[in-house]
Copies of this chain bind each other. A is one copy, B any other.
């Protein structure tokens, strides 16, 4: 009855526990599917109008601030690149038929391809074609952000059907000075201490990587919005790598407010959860996520930080070393469909998105409620019976869980242990410990401890 519920306003329907109500979950699932379908066809990249259009749609859910950083801006060791936009692209055979057609899939064009319009033989063309021979039905996803180049991606089957011919090659793109765009949603809590949720929003029609992360972050933001929260929340939608670097560069002094964070990506597939620890490895976010996963009843994997993956690479660079991990399902590069056309709306299912959404909420629930108390009876146990907290008839060996949780909270509330510490040492789930602490607090047996 406590848990995140205690921070849910009366007029709010979806709390941690309420999620088990089928109707709400079905509505949320449908909403997720709808948002996915709407975002999927957009041709996003690390800059440009696809990204802008995506952020505009997200704005329907949460009051996003959109930032535009000009091309050429120095961001640490990097420079904000030229903005890339694309209208159309194709390869036509001599009959004028589009044998490769950007309108069918935005993966057909290598990201950041420079404009080209020319004719060439098949053998010349082939130098610019990318396929996946091992998965002949799938189109690969390729980019060339920092080296000017152009190319087409297509299935290997399609590639094999290309005949000797003179082909018209057209990429109607622009690569010009412009801006790098990112979106940011800041939700003020009771404290200026922040929890950061970061997702990359630069991939075109790829669903798990990372429409799933965008959808989860968006709806998480909307869910948190009406709640009374202890932490402030910052949810950022950024292009990978250059976006994180740009954001950190623009917010360098403010980063110290971040107390915990998660990089949200690959949260919509059927795989088990994977938690990648922060570089610190033992930060509260690390202990929290592992606690939540351990008590979720699901199988999961925890991996140590490594300097590869998503934007935790930047957040955990030594000069920042932020307590930010990444909670994913099947992690990048570990599923065959990764960075191919098979990472589509069939690969991601709303039941898994919902499951991930609940897991993120559970993590937030622990962080929000992870207080420290001082028992008012440091010497010997207080008498629980006279406060109605103890089964009256002695000799009954069936002590229920709450009874043990009460005793653990009393014994370890010495100003050195948070509720999460107590949960971990006792082996009990956080909410049981929190409920026990709430009961003891109501009975005036605990003081909150700030120190």
Q: Is the CB of A383 within 8 A of B77?
A: yes
Contact B379 A320 (CB under 8 A): yes
Taking a contact as CB atoms closer than 8 A, the residue among B145, B307, B397 that contacts A338 in the complex is B397
Contacts A/B (CB < 8 Å), 9 sampled? A77-B382, A77-B383, A143-B394, A146-B383, A147-B393, A318-B411, A319-B377, A319-B378, A338-B397
| A244, A306, A308, A393, most chain B CB atoms within 10 A | A393
Contact B338–A143 (Cβ < 8 Å): no
**Nearest chain B CB to A320 CB, angstrom units:** 6
Pair A76/B394 contact, Cβ less than 8 Å: no
Interface on chain A toward B: helix, strand, loop, or mixed SS?
loop
In the bound complex, CA of A141 to CA of B319 (Å): 62
- Which residue from chain B places its CB closest to the CB of A320 in the assembled complex? B379
**Bound Cα distance A396, B393 (Å):** 68
Given that A307-B407, A318-B413, A379-B317 are contacting pairs, would A147 and B252 also be in contact in the complex, using a CB cutoff of 8 Å? no
Residues of B within 8 A of A244 (CB): 380
| A397 to B410 alpha-carbon distance, docked (Å) | 51
Which residues in B have their C-beta under 8 angstroms from that of A342? none
Docked complex Cα distance between A381 and B307 (Å): 9
A143 touches B393 (CB 8 A): yes
Supposing A77-B382, A317-B381, A375-B318 touch, asked if A397 and B307 sit within 8 A by C-beta, the answer is: no
Within 8 A of B (CB), among A121-175: 140-147, 149
Chain copies in complex = 3
Is A350 in the interface zone, CB < 8 Å from B? no
CA distance A219 to B385 in the complex (A): 36
B77 touches A395 (CB 8 A): no
A307 proximity list for chain B (CB < 8 A): 381, 404, 407-408, 410-411
Q: How far is the CA of A249 from the CA of B145 in the complex (A)?
A: 67
- How far, in angstroms, from A147 to B147 measured CA to CA in the complex? 82
Chain B, Cβ-Cβ closest to A111: B394
Contact across chains for A393 and B144 when beta carbons are under 8 A apart: yes
A76 to B397, CA, bound (A): 26
Q: Please tell me if the beta carbons of B395 and A140 are within 8 angstroms of each other in the complex.
A: yes
B397 touches A146 (CB 8 A): no
Q: Which residue of B lies closest to A142 (CB)?
A: B395
* Chain B residue at smallest Cβ distance from A144: B393
In the complex, A402 has a CB within 8 A of chain B: no
How does the 8 Å CB contact mask read for A365-408 relative to B, with 1 for contact and 0 for none? 00000000001011111110110000011111101000010011
